[in-house]
Amino acid sequence: MVKNVELNFEVTPLTYAVLSQELEAGELATYVLDEKQEYIMSTTPTKIIEQACKYYGSSLKGRVEGTKEVSEFIYKPPIAINPSTGMFFFPTSSPRLKTCSWIAHSHILILHPKEDQRITEIVFKNGRKVIVPVSYGSITNQLQRTAQFRYELEKRLSSD
């Protein structure tokens, strides 16, 4: 069941994806896939991610700068919304684009290329699936970069 919600929604460790979606009228909205619930919100995915970063004591800009410091990833950097609860997300395109979606690293089971690898099906650990209009190679790269960033950050945090 899909619920329409306003900005009181909070990204949690149970959030799988924050996806850009075009509505019938042509306007952009956000489809949020949670472990047990789905939501439609009338804002962009990046604004929801920004709100989540602020909720956990930073900003999206701060999280991006932190990623660059740890991993040197500059283009489409993954972020740690809250590393202590394993909330690592990666963007599907430049976060400056309204069509940028965000995927939670820890919930992905497998990726499947579709349509000559131009789009990708993401299968989550609970069996739910989403299709993103991003090449299989790009999503695979983002998944690997997020794993590398996560490893480096967790190594730093455990040595303190």
Contact (CB, 8 A) for 104 and 87: yes
Q: What is the pLDDT of residues 69-84, one digit of tens each?
A: 999 899 999 999 999 9
CA 35/CA 44 separation, integer angstroms: 20
pLDDT-derived band at 25 (thresholds 50, 70, 90) equals confident
Q: What is the pLDDT of residues 27-53, one digit of tens each?
A: 889 999 999 889 899 899 999 999 999
- The DSSP bridge pattern shows strands 2-4 and 38-41 to be parallel
- The DSSP bridge pattern shows strands 129-132 and 119-124 to be antiparallel
pLDDT at residue 3 greater than cutoff 60 = no
**Edge to edge, what strands does the sheet with 108-114 contain?**
108-114, 119-124, 129-132
Structure tokens at 108: 């992905």
Q: In total, how many domains does the chain have?
A: 1
pLDDT at residue 6 greater than cutoff 60 = no
pLDDT at residue 5 greater than cutoff 60 = no
Amino acid letter, 115: E
Question: Which positions ≥6 away from 158 have C-beta within 8 Å?
Answer: none
**For 95, phi and psi rounded to 5 degrees?**
-60, -15
pTM score above 0.85: yes
User: If you ran DSSP here, which 8-state letter would residue 40 be given?
Assistant: E
pLDDT at residue 151 greater than cutoff 60 = yes
Query: What pLDDT, on a 0 to 100 scale, did the predictor assign at position 8?
Result: 62
Domain span at 62: 2-158
